[in-house]
Chains A and B, each alone.
Chain A
């Protein structure tokens, strides 16, 4: 069996998988940091699972109705952005019942997806890929799409970062400073939705929250500014992709699940070390 490095140079599929994972890491590091500090992981979870409704609808349209342009990727994007808009609207109008609505959207989205899929004959390879991910099937077109969206998100966040920071830290102050807090919040949710669809290509719906939250949560333990947290989260996420691919290659495990499991173990370990590090500081203050 060739070594992982040799396999990378010999097998373009494996190399593309690693590039795809790194491209997704940029998105997860930046957008995941906003998700973690704004404490809207539950919202991101709801968006990621409601994506199944769009995927199921498009697979059904494509297979049974002959609508050839109905790609599952378009369905996923439409469902994610639609869910983000609904959650944003509920947040602004009915904040008291926001969590219940988010949970309802979560299960309704999955239910719609399951119903459409049950009406579609045959085994759906795309559906399996969207559910558990298949980073080894990242095509050249996917890499271009991932790269293009990375650049778009970096440029947008560069211009809006201080405004996003303000609405994450103190919405009242942002409103007092004349910022359109509602529009910024909705825009942030749409960016989260697009990022989720990109990350789903790598690790799938079931594991997407790992990529979106764990690198940022670990970075949060060691950084004191949001911009630095994003850089560290990108580095951590890229390392997870590399280590996940490496482990999956030698153990012959599914790549997405291996990345998620490795990330989870590192997160638990980092929480343990972070707690140990805090204790002496508290003692010295006392």
Chain B
């Protein structure tokens, strides 16, 4: 059974979009397609007329907590495309990394080990890494998974503060929170269709992506 099929959607510049859907629906596949990690078997993905100024925030839980890397080194890795052949970042790059850390309120942790941070702090460091080079499109893969309520509120506050300055696509299972934050939702369940936050059925928040309602919404969208 194919993952996704005739998917067609557009995202406007500066939008804050949540991507929802049941497990196995194709959310990760959609992210990987946008990131260019996999190629579509048919059709094309066009972003900024093919200019790929994309940043990605993975889940912090996938990282090896014993890896010896400092917070500032993680953030600087968001500037690798600017790294000269001799392999040293210049003063301006370090300044950009510090500014990005300031935006996520973690400047005081710049020399700490990434593995020593809490889940919420680690996620904010990954957001700093993603925004350090001022991307046009920011993709986030469940940024609040496995963090406590306060860390979740901090992460949403950071994303809200960036709203409008870049286009944000956030995969999330946390539907209750997401409908309060995002402007539009893309529901991925084989195909992709768009919903306004107020159209989201309360059953979705319980993980029940029931077919009849999805079909109604899908027909409305078309």
Contacts and interface: CB of A to CB of B under 8 A. Distances in A.
Contacts of A220: 66, 68
Interface string B69-89: 110011011111101011111
A176 B85 contact: no
Nearest to A285: B118
B83 A225 contact: no
Interface in A142-200: 158-163, 165-166, 168-170, 172-179
B77 A178 contact: no
Interface stretch (B16-24, B53-61, B166-174, B184-192): B53-61
Contacts of A268: none
A173 B68 contact: no
A47 interface: no
A169 B77 contact: yes
B221 interface: no
A163 B66 CA distance: 19
A160 to B, nearest CB: 6
Q: Which residue, A37, A39, A170, has most C-beta atoms of chain B within 10 A? A: A170
B58 A37 contact: no
Q: Which residue, B74, B85, B112, has most C-beta atoms of chain A within 10 A? A: B74
B27 to A, nearest CB: 16
Nearest to A168: B67
Given A159-B86, A159-B87, A165-B73, A174 B66 contact: no
A226 interface: yes
Given A172-B56, A176-B54, A223 B37 contact: no
Interface of B: 35, 37, 54-56, 58, 63-64, 66-70, 73-74, 76-81, 83, 85-89, 112-113, 115-116, 129
Given A159-B87, A172-B35, 5 more contacts: A166-B77, A169-B64, A174-B77, A225-B68, A226-B68
